[in-house]
Amino acid sequence: MDKRDIGSEILDGLKVIKQGRRARKTVMIPDVIAIRKNMNASQSAFAAMLGVSARTVQDWEQGRRKPSGPALSLLRVAAVRPDAVREAIAA
């Protein structure tokens, strides 16, 4: 078993902070086209479900923009539980 050099690890971490670098998080962007098709919705109907414009859905599908914030969360739910999204919207 190798011994860790905690002091060195701390110093390395401080150097990273001093340089202004941050750890990058990888955000998984759902496949908007697949989700929309799975929900059997047109772009405009899908946009209405998500509360965004049809143009925004087109931009996501064509890779010009990436969903973020609440829309990204809702897309993740729709990918796993499209029935839950339909139910919530119908209520």
Q: Is the pLDDT of residue 50 over 70?
A: yes
Under a CB-based contact definition with an 8 Å cutoff, are residues 52 and 71 in contact?
Answer: yes
Would you place residue 90 in the very low, low, confident or very high pLDDT band (cuts 50, 70, 90)?
A: confident
Residue 25 lies in a domain: no
Residue matched to tokens 């998984």: 28
The answer to whether position 21 is within a domain reads no
Phi, psi of 23 (to 5 degrees): -70, 135
Q: What is the CATH number of the domain that holds 48?
A: 1.10.260.40
Rounded CA-CA distance 11/17 in Å is 10
How far apart are alpha carbons 46 and 35 in whole angstroms? 9
Domain of residue 40, residue span: 32-90
- Predicted structure pTM score: 0.69
Q: How many helices (H) and strands (E) does the chain have?
A: 6, 0
- Give the pLDDT confidence of 26-40 residue by residue, as tens digits: 668 899 999 999 999
75 within domain boundaries: yes
Higher pLDDT, 64 or 13: 64
